[in-house]
Amino acid sequence: DAGVTQSPTHLIKTRGQQVTLRCSPKSGHDTVSWYQQALGQGPQFIFQYYEEEERQRGNFPDRFSGHQFPNYSSELNVNALLLGDSALYLCASSFGIGYEQYFGPGTRLTVT
């Protein structure tokens, strides 16, 4: 049974560019949440997708957007990258409202 998978593993981008990160949830899960984890900090909630709609959003600017596909996989898009966007981006999947969230290995984004 495959767990949560994310791609790519690492990514280096330049300020001002745009990036797309991808996530496939654990088998049987229908909800995907995205988190940003800066070095030495706990993950910060970006948003959650359920039934292809954004259900809740954290305190992140509109440069961060997402999408969920009919097969429950999800994308996180970040526009106009800033140096401060450098972080580990984590995807978590769950069933329904999401009390038990299981995380993928993350995508490490470096903005230069």
Partner 1 sequence: QKEVEQDPGPLSVPEGAIVSLNCTYSNSAFQYFMWYRQYSRKGPELLMYTYSSGNKEDGRFTAQVDKSSKYISLFIRDSQPSDSATYLCAMMAASGSRLTFGEGTQLTVNP
The total of other beta-carbon atoms located within 10 Å of residue 63's CB is 13
Piece of the chain touching partner 1 by CB under 8 A; list 14-22, 68-76, 78-86, 92-100: 92-100
Piece of the chain touching partner 1 by CB under 8 A; list 11-19, 62-70, 73-81, 104-112: 104-112
Interface residue with partner 1 among 30, 58, 60, 75 (CB under 8 A) is 58
Interface residue with partner 1 among 42, 53, 62, 70 (CB under 8 A) is 42
From residue 75, give the alpha-carbon distance in Å to each of 21, 40, 41, 50, 86.
6, 25, 23, 13, 17
